[in-house]
Amino acid sequence: MSDWLVVGKFTSAYGIKGWVKLHSYTDPIDNIIGYQPLLFKKQGKWQTLEIEKIQRHAKSLIAKVKGCDNRDQTPFYSGCELGILKSQLPELKGDDFYWSDLMGLAVKSDQGQIFGVVDHLLETGSNDVLVVKATEHSIDDQERLIPYLLGDVVKNVDLQAGEIIVDWDADF
């Protein structure tokens, strides 16, 4: 498991003074401002990034990177992922987990059937959903969407064992 967590991505230039559009994966999107230092991934390597300012623009964010002073310099950053060390995240209490901790965990029914692994999660508004991709050890090759309802559908999350136990019918 990586020590890095991707929290956003630069997309394209904004204006002529070196600002870059920033797509934040945090919720709410402004939370990315609190993670300092931010690093960016260029050519497969994480590098320190000095951001002068991040601000809202309409329903998204824009950022001013130190030393990026005109539109011609922004392509260097466009498409780069922004990350933090996982150790920068606040510690969660009880049965709360970060999505990044759940991705890659094996998903098994409470009857012992292997459904696959968590590929990613979806936010639906009412509850989050585990997107479970089949593996060679799965009962079939079906992708499953399993509601992340702790105690009801999700019976146990064991990060040490690398698995999630669910009360879920294989026919769904």
| CATH label of the domain that carries residue 50 | 2.40.30.60
pLDDT at residue 1 is higher than 60: no
Is residue 80 domain-shared with residue 108, that is, in the same domain? Answer: no
pTM over 0.75: no
Going by C-alpha positions, the residue among 8, 149, 5, 169 that lies closest to residue 84 is 5
Q: Are residues 65 and 103 in the same domain?
A: no
Residue 11 inside a domain? The answer is yes
Contact 170, 115 (CB under 8 A): yes
Q: Which domain holds residue 40?
A: 4-88
Q: How many domains does the chain have?
A: 2
Query: Is the domain of 68 the same as that of 136?
Result: no
Residue 66 and residue 19 in one domain: yes
Question: 50: number of CA atoms within 13 Å, CB side?
Answer: 5
Query: What is the per-residue pLDDT across 107-142, written as a single tens digit (0 to 9) for each?
Result: 999 999 999 999 999 988 889 999 999 999 999 999
The one-letter amino acid at 52: E
User: 94 lies in a domain?
Assistant: no
Domain membership flag for residue 10: yes
Could you give the CA distance from residue 101 to residue 127 in angstroms, rounded to a whole number? 17
Whole-number Å distance between alpha carbons of 160 and 109: 18
Whole-number pLDDT of residue 2? 66
| Of 6, 171, 169, 165, residue with least CA distance to 85 | 6
Question: 64, 88, 112 — which closes off a domain?
Answer: 88
Residue 171 lies in a domain: no
Length of the chain: 172
Q: State the distance between the two ends of the chain, measured CA to CA, in whole angstroms.
A: 30
Overall average pLDDT of the 24-47 stretch:
90
Are residues 20 and 65 in contact, defined by beta-carbon separation less than 8 angstroms? yes
